[in-house]
Every structure is written in C-alpha cells, then in structure tokens.
C-alpha cells in the first residue's frame, strides 16, 4: 500500500490525473503511464482517489471510475464538515489571540482562559481538564519527542480520564499523526490503548495538540513548536471550549481508524504475525516501518508481504489492504 500523502485532493497532480480518468472510456493504469505520469505518481494519486471513493483502483490495471455526480458531493460534504468545524473556532481563537496581546504586561491569566508557560503547566492543565470529563474526552496528538516518549512509556496517560463509580466512564477518542508508526513500539502501544477502550485513529498531519473535554474545557498544546510549552492555553470559557470540541470531532470523523490485527481462523496459511503485517499495511506503513514495529528484518517483511498477497489473491500491496478490509479482517 502506498505511503500516505498529506497533500489534499485538489493538488494539481491528482486533479490532472482524475480529469484524464474521466475522459478515458476504458481507464487503465497503463494508459496513465502512456500519458507521461510516473509509476509513483499514478500509485499515489490513485490511492488518494480510491480512499475518497472516487475510483476503485484495487485491480492490477483496470480502474473503475465512479460517476462524479454521485461521488463528488459526498467528498465535498466531508470537506465542508471539516471546514465548518474550523470556522466555528476562528472567532473565539482570534479573540483569545488579540486579547492576550492587548493586556498589560504581567497579566497572564483570566478566570476563563489561562496562558501556559511551561510543559509542567500543560501537564497540570491536562490533568485538571481530564478530571472533569463526564461524557467525552478527545485528544489530538501532534508529533514531538516528548509525546513520542509518553506514548511508548505510558500509553495510558495519553488520554487518561477519571472513571466515576456512580456513572459510566466518558467516551475516549484520540487521533495521532500517521507518522507515529515510525516510532519503535508505537503500533503495540496504540493497540494497548485500543484494548483499554480508547478509539484510536490516524491522520496525515496535525497543526497542534488538543485535549477537549465535554464542552466545558480544553487544552491547546503547542509544545511541539515551542519545546518549553510557552503560548499554550487552558480554556474554560464555554463557547470557545465548545467550538474547540467541534473542531476536534470534525478532524476525528475524517481520520482513519487504526486497523485491527486479524484474529481467529480468518486466513488459513498465515500466522498471527502476518495479521500484524496486514494491519500495518492497511495503515499505510512501509516495509521499513513494519520491520521496526515488529522487530523483524526488512527482508522478512518483504517475504511475508509476498505470502500475504498470495493468500489474499492480491497483485499489489494496496490491493492486499483493500481485500483485507472488504473481507472484514480489519
């Protein structure tokens, strides 16, 4: 399966290729190559179009292009949901930005919004906010050396929440940048989180880390940009906290669920380790990344990927992941 590409659907390369597909009466990969696209360009663009439901590129050469009058509105609706979530946060965040810069020197906090100066302040605010969770707690985790270490050493602390004895525990959702799979041991840590009842998803890129609790509190963490943590925020202003939650849920809905490792007698000739390889393939991991996550050699990964493709009747890595999902293995 091709590596995930953070560029949006509207980039020039994918748009050119999609328009060509619409014009071809019998779209094929070979026809795209004859038009001057490289193998990598074709694979990357088709993977992106396939993910968004605009084409079916699972076969070796033949590409099925779905009618744009049915597929593009659905894709546009997904983009609009994300845009609405972002727009809803603009006013509150802009107000916060200008208010923080217009006050007198030395005035660092207000009853509803606090500027956080250090990583220790961020962690303390996180614990205060998480302790208030009653129905839902969402965390977006941007990559940083600190958060990479936390995931591997203490995965339970990424989104720990108070579990009241008299009422159900809150729903817990977390989104990581897909590149987290490059960290040794990350896949195992993410599976541990999921086994603890946390819904884990992956996305190509996050601008900053966020913790959103119900619609009452949020922590905006920019320590991946400023290692000291200065400029981060603890928000208790209800309207702004609600807007931040909407933004988080919009991003969560557009993220990719962490693929599950197949269990049970689903594949006759493959091992449990092969199930982990399939899950990582579906997550877009390269052979090198899979080797690091499973502590095996890259050559072993290549050999097992070939065996998986043979068992599934797939001719490409992308098709293997697609077949596994369609058969309900993931």
CATH code of the domain in which 130 resides: 3.30.870.10
Residue 161 contacts residue 172 (beta carbons within 8 Å): yes
128 lies in the same domain as 164: yes
User: How far apart, in whole angstroms, are the C-alpha atoms of residue 202 and residue 204?
Assistant: 7
250 lies in the same domain as 102: yes
**CA angle, corner 140, sides to 138 and 145, nearest 5?**
135
Assess if residue 262 is contained within a domain.
no
Residue 221 contacts residue 122 (beta carbons within 8 Å): yes
pLDDT in the model for residue 305 = 85
Q: Which helix (H) or strand (E) holds 186?
A: helix 186-195
Residue 133 contacts residue 170 (beta carbons within 8 Å): yes
Assess if residue 71 is contained within a domain.
no
Residue 233 contacts residue 115 (beta carbons within 8 Å): yes
Assess if residue 1 is contained within a domain.
no
Confidence of residue 266 (pLDDT cuts 50, 70, 90): low
User: How far apart, in whole angstroms, are the C-alpha atoms of residue 178 and residue 322?
Assistant: 18
Last residue of a domain, one of 257, 280, 304: 257
User: How far apart, in whole angstroms, are the C-alpha atoms of residue 241 and residue 137?
Assistant: 12
What contacts 24+ positions apart, CB below 8 Å, involve 34-40? none
Pairing of strands 199-203, 171-177: parallel
Last residue of a domain, one of 223, 257, 291: 257
pLDDT in the model for residue 100 = 65
40 lies in the same domain as 176: no
83-117 tens-digit pLDDT? 777 766 665 676 666 666 655 444 445 568 888 88
56-82 tens-digit pLDDT? 998 889 999 999 888 888 888 877 777
Assess if residue 76 is contained within a domain.
no
Question: Which tokens in the block code for residue 222?
Answer: 């920019």
Confidence of residue 5 (pLDDT cuts 50, 70, 90): very low
Q: Which of 133-142, 205-214, 304-313 has the lowest mean pLDDT?
A: 304-313
pLDDT in the model for residue 221 = 93
Last residue of a domain, one of 204, 233, 257: 257
**What domain range is 43 assigned to?**
12-66
219 lies in the same domain as 287: no
178 lies in the same domain as 35: no
194 lies in the same domain as 316: no
Assess if residue 264 is contained within a domain.
no
Confidence of residue 265 (pLDDT cuts 50, 70, 90): low
184 lies in the same domain as 228: yes
Secondary structure string (H, E, C) spanning the chain: CCCCCCCCCCCHHHHHHHHHHHHCCCCEHHHHHHCCCCHHHHHHHHHHHHHCCCEECCCCCECEECCHHHHHHHHHHHHHHHHHHHHHHHHHHHHHHHHHHHCCCCCCECCCEEEECCHHHHHHHHHHHHCCCCCEEEEEECCCHHHHHHHHHCHHHCCCCCCCCCCCCCEEEEEEEHHHHHCCCHHHHHHHHHHCCCEEEEECCCCCEEEEECCCEEEEECCCCCCCCCCEEEECCHHHHHHHHHHHHHHHHHCEECCCCCCCCCCCCCCHHHHHHHHHHHCCCCHHHHHHHHCCCHHHHHHHHHHHHHHHCCCCHHHHHHHHHHCCCC
Count of domains in the chain? 3
The answer on pLDDT for 326 being more than 90 is no
Higher-pLDDT residue of 183 and 311 is 183
Assess if residue 240 is contained within a domain.
yes
User: How far apart, in whole angstroms, are the C-alpha atoms of residue 209 and residue 211?
Assistant: 7
Assess if residue 319 is contained within a domain.
yes
Q: Mean pLDDT score of the chain, rounded to an integer?
A: 81
61 lies in the same domain as 190: no
89 lies in the same domain as 183: yes
CATH of the domain at 46: 1.10.10
Assess if residue 201 is contained within a domain.
yes
pLDDT in the model for residue 167 = 54
253 lies in the same domain as 184: yes
CATH of the domain at 297: 1.10.10.10
Q: Which of 73-87, 198-212, 286-300 has the lowest mean pLDDT?
A: 73-87
126-153 tens-digit pLDDT? 988 988 888 999 999 999 888 989 888 8
21 lies in the same domain as 92: no
234 lies in the same domain as 300: no
């Amino acid at each position: 399966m091709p590596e995930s590409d953070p560029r949006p659907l509207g980039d020039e390369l994918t748009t050119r290729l999609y328009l060509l597909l619409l014009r071809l009466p019998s779209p094929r990969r070979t026809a795209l190559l004859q038009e001057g696209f490289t193998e990598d360009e074709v694979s990357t663009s088709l993977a992106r179009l396939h993910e968004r439901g605009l084409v079916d590129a699972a076969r070796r050469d033949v590409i099925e292009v779905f009618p744009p009058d049915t597929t593009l509105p659905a894709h546009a609706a997904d983009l609009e949901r994300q845009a609405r979530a972002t727009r809803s946060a603009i006013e509150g965040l802009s107000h916060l930005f200008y208010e923080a810069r217009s006050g007198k020197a030395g005035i660092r906090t207000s009853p509803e919004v606090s500027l956080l100066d250090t990583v220790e302040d961020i962690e303390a605010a996180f614990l205060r906010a998480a302790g208030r969770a009653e129905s839902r707690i969402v965390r977006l985790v941007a990559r940083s050396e600190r958060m990479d270490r936390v995931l591997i050493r203490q995965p339970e602390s990424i989104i720990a929440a108070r579990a009241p004895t008299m009422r159900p525990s809150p729903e817990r959702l977390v989104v990581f940048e897909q590149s987290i799979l490059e960290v040794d041991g990350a896949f195992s840590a993410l599976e541990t989180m999921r086994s603890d009842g946390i819904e884990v998803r992956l996305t190509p890129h996050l601008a900053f880390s966020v913790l959103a609790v119900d619609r009452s509190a949020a922590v905006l963490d920019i320590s991946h940009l400023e290692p000291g943590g200065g400029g981060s925020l603890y928000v208790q202003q209800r309207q702004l906290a609600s807007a931040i939650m909407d933004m988080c849920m919009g991003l969560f809905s557009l993220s990719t669920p962490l693929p599950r490792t197949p269990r049970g007698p689903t594949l006759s000739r493959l091992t449990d380790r092969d199930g982990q390889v399939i899950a990582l393939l579906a997550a877009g991991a390269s052979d090198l990344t899979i080797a690091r996550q499973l502590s095996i050699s890259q050559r072993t990964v290549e050999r097992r990927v070939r065996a998986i493709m043979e068992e599934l009747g797939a001719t490409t890595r992308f098709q293997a992941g697609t077949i596994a999902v369609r058969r309900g293995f993931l």
